[in-house]
Amino acid sequence: MFFEQVAEYYSKLESTSSRLEMIDLLTELFKKAKKGEIKSIIYMTVGSPAPPFQGVDLGVAEKLAEEAIATATGAEKAKVEASFKKTGDLGLTAEQFISGSRLRRMSGDKFEINDVLETMLKIARTGGEGSKDAKIKMLANLLAASRPLEARYIVRFALGQLRLGAGDATILEALSKAATGDREFKPRLEEAYNICSDLGLVGETMMRDGKKGIEEFKVTLFNPIRPALAERLPTAEEILEKMHGRCAVESKYDGLRAQVHVDRKSKRVEIFSRRLERLTEMFPEITAAALKEVNADKAILEGEAIAYDETTNQFRAFQETIQRKRKHGVEEMSTEMPLHLFAFDLLYLDGESYLNKKYSERRKTLESIVKGNGTIRLSDMMLVTKPKEMERYFETAIEDGLEGIVAKDLDAPYIAGARKFSWIKMKRSYKGELSDTVDLVVVGYYRGRGIRTEFGFGGMLAAVYNEKTDMFETITRIGTGFTEENMRALKKLFEKIKTAKRPARVESLIEPDYWIEPKYVVTVRADEITKSPMHTAGRHKEGDEEIGYALRFPRIVSNGIREDKSPEEATTTKEILEMFRQQRKTKVGEEA
């Protein structure tokens, strides 16, 4: 497929504010793909030249892209820079300069989608001395052969700013419709995606081998499995009721979730975050320990990596642990602040998937291959049948400086990529008060006014994630908890993902000064959840009025973005409804 056709569909996707229309457009696009193209189209649509877990970094900064545009069009770099300052979007700048360039290609020349991805991968693999000039040349050659609309999306893709807003669920739904004519096969496609984390591979398999190919999908070492997620409940009584009176309870460590893939024969280890990013080089002590301390030829373990001070027997705060997620100064930090991996699940062992085995069997096998008291240890766990037992365990975890506990259904399989009541978390903030923390997705922001004018940032519009509709529903405007440094940093971050109109997956009755793509997650504390006619979270009809839910007195807990969480891992609409129910129950109890 010529890239020109893909660019035309991207322009239509960019113009729509309807998720259903977005699905229809992607369905048409996927149907037109020739054999061997669907993988490239999907990768490009999600804005990555390869699956995220491969850690492919194009290494194209704005200055490099400006030079490539100037080289491709024969324009002065100063003029390109001036245009960028006006548009705020190098993609639009590239489109303008290609449109006015006398060096433009002949109308009969065309290149295909695979050519674009191949060039991008070459750019990513180019390193060492002279790599900057080589990257400029490759990107400039591609732009020189482009039509204006193609140039817009080539530059945006190179910068990681494609701005199409198509989430995983949207792509899977479109893929189901393209291959089968309806969306009924989407759940099975999602299952395949959950065990390979590669949308391109799922799309290619579906288009090449049909339903049979998807049904035969298997866990593969070094392809990360999308992590299981926990529901939340506030009391031990409610948790045990959900678990039919008996469950395992584990400590909830406030660290970095890590999935460790080990192949002792090839001496290869890969570590992936909960967002499926490669962490291998960042955690050298865990990488080395996996080959020595895991008694298996091949295995996939899941655990929590956390800084732990053995001299004081104390876990360090998350803010300290997160400092280990870095590309530079790794060896020094691993000595200064060594990590331990507290393993809590086994997903694969010596050629066999453990996803469909009961938790009790997975845990027993995990205990047989992880022994000792080294860098890799087992998470604390006990079996409980009474609320008092769970509460005592919970209090002990809090005293040890941990977040709380996670209860697990002894008979449940590992449900990859989903939030189910087979895992239930209870954190300290759930005990009694509703000053609970929630993780929200930023969907817009406000320009600074008054004393904040100089920062160009006055607050943000935030949303929760509705798993059923694959939409982000607004729940609050946040204007407190920011430092001056933080406001400057957030404005700079959000400016790069501003959109001209409301993103298709955002449902909102409120218009911020600037919309942004739903990309970043922040942790927020609030006094309570209230009903609101202004917000769309959990919106429903009450009498003659449409009512949603909002946060009262929201404030940012920490000054940073939660880089370890994707937008789809934010607090869900379902969780907000449950928290509101629990809040009302607590108030009734207090009044009584």
Q: Which residues are catalytic?
A: 252
Max CA separation in the chain (angstroms): 80
User: DSSP label at 294?
Assistant: B
Cα–chain center distance at 99 = 36
Tell me if 414 sits within 8 A of 362, measured CB to CB.
yes
Tell me if 152 sits within 8 A of 95, measured CB to CB.
yes
For residues 449 and 458, what is the distance between their CA atoms, to the nearest angstrom? Answer: 6
Nearest Cα neighbor of 166 from 5, 14, 50, 6 is: 14
Which tokens is 197 given? 């984390």
What angle, 0 to 180 degrees and rounded to 10, lies between the N-to-C axes of helices 77-87 and 62-73? 120
Buried-exposed string 422-432: b where 16+ CB fall within 10 A, e elsewhere: bbbbbbbbbee
Which tokens is 417 given? 């990529």
Residue at token pair 């491969």: 54
For residues 188 and 469, what is the distance between their CA atoms, to the nearest angstrom? Answer: 17
Contacts of 48 (CB under 8 A, 6+ apart): 56
DSSP element (H, E) containing 261:
strand 256-263
Does residue 492 come out as left (phi exceeding 0), alpha (psi in the -120 to 50 range) or beta?
A: alpha
For residues 106 and 53, what is the distance between their CA atoms, to the nearest angstrom? Answer: 39
List Cβ<8 Å contacts ≥24 apart for 60-64: 60/123, 60/135, 60/139, 60/158, 60/159, 61/159, 62/90, 62/159, 64/132, 64/135, 64/136, 64/139
For residues 194 and 301, what is the distance between their CA atoms, to the nearest angstrom? Answer: 16
Which tokens is 196 given? 């390979």
For residues 77 and 70, what is the distance between their CA atoms, to the nearest angstrom? Answer: 5
Tell me if 528 sits within 8 A of 552, measured CB to CB.
yes
The 3 state secondary structure assigned to 53-114 is: HHCCCCCCCHHHHHHHHHHHHCCCHHHHHHHHHHHCCHHHHHHHHHHCCCCCCCCCCCCEHH
Q: How many residues are recorded in the chain?
A: 592
**Quick check: helix, strand or coil at residue 358?**
coil
Give the dihedral sign, CA 566/567/571/573: negative
